[in-house]
Structure 1
Amino acid sequence: MFGKKKQPPIKSLIAIGTEIRGDVLFTDGLRVDGQITGNLHAQPEVPSLLVISEAATVRGEVRAGHVIINGQVLGPVWATELLELQPKARITGDVTYRALEMHQGATISGQLLPLAEGVNDKPTLKLAAIAS
């Protein structure tokens, strides 16, 4: 409704206390509360949602359509649609995005690299409102 795209459902969970060593490929939606050492990629060309919670740590490349981070990522992040950085997000690596929403408190140690469709297109940047 009103031009918003419907998000894919979160069908998979990597729970707190779970540690995965190796690459993870997923479709639709994935929530990570545990630890991943390896690349975390959504199936290409398919709408995807990835949530990395406050308790999660990912050591490797992250690549999905809509990415929401409130935990720690040690590696590059690619969000082909929207990247949302919650207040406790900590990224060490370059960040590539089409649209970016960053809350106060989130940190990035790396370059911000916008994806632009055309030469004159500018990426969408949105400042999150401070909750009072």
Structure 2
Amino acid sequence: MWKKAKGESLQRFSGKTSVIASGAELLGDLHFEGAVQVDGRVRGNLHTSDGVVLVSQDGEVVGEIRAPRVILQGAVKGDVHAAELLELGASARVSGNLYYGVMEMAAGAHIEGRLCRSNSLEAPLELPAGLGSE
């Protein structure tokens, strides 16, 4: 199930896929169109209005993720905003709040934070009042 979903998501962005390789570290924010696959480490925010973020099993993001589709198999320390679909693999480890349209979660995924479902897939996700001031 995960391979099919991941392949369909990344295949749509053929020619617009970036990879943060294993052993590489990106310092700073990345704004992009298409897909980004994190096999290494990102210390910054990942933002796209039309794309997908994949954090592989050995990948790590320390910062906020905002994308229509987010697939997590590795570690994230920060809030995740997936307007359409959030997929959490069995090895996903998240320390932050999750905002999503639809979520799929495999047994074994670990979350330390709040789960906040969006009522509308059409509107961009925004922080609920009061959550940002804790």
TM-score (norm. length: structure 2): 0.78
Identity %: 40
Question: What residue number does 1:63 align with?
Answer: 66
- Which of the two has greater strand per residue? 1
TM-score (norm. length: structure 1): 0.79
Instruction: Give the whole-Å Cα distance in 1 for the aligned partners of 2:80 and 2:52.
Output: 13
Q: How many residues in Structure 1 have an aligned counterpart in Structure 2?
A: 110
**Residues 1-132 of structure 1: matches in 2 within 5 Å?**
7=9, 8-9=12-13, 11-42=17-48, 44=49, 46=50, 48-117=51-120
1:53-75 C-alpha deviation (Å, 9 max, x unpaired): 00111000011111100000000
User: Which structure is larger by alpha-carbon Rg, 1 or 2?
Assistant: 1
1:45-96 C-alpha deviation (Å, 9 max, x unpaired): x2x1111000111000011111100000000000010000000000000000
- Which of the two has greater helix per residue? 2
1:96-132 C-alpha deviation (Å, 9 max, x unpaired): 00000000000110000001129xxxxxxxxxxxxxx
Instruction: Give the whole-Å Cα distance in 1 for the aligned partners of 2:42 and 2:36.
Output: 13
> Any gaps of 5 or more consecutive residues in structure 2?
1-7, 122-134
- 1:38 positional shift: 0.6
Q: In the alignment, residue 57 of structure 2 is paired with which amino acid?
A: E
RMSD: 1.4
Instruction: Give the whole-Å Cα distance in 1 for the aligned partners of 2:103 and 2:52.
Output: 15
- 1:28 positional shift: 1.0
- 1:26 positional shift: 1.5
Q: Deviation above 3 Å: which 4+ runs of structure 1?
A: none
Instruction: Give the whole-Å Cα distance in 1 for the aligned partners of 2:98 and 2:111.
Output: 8
Secondary structure in 1 matching 2:107: coil
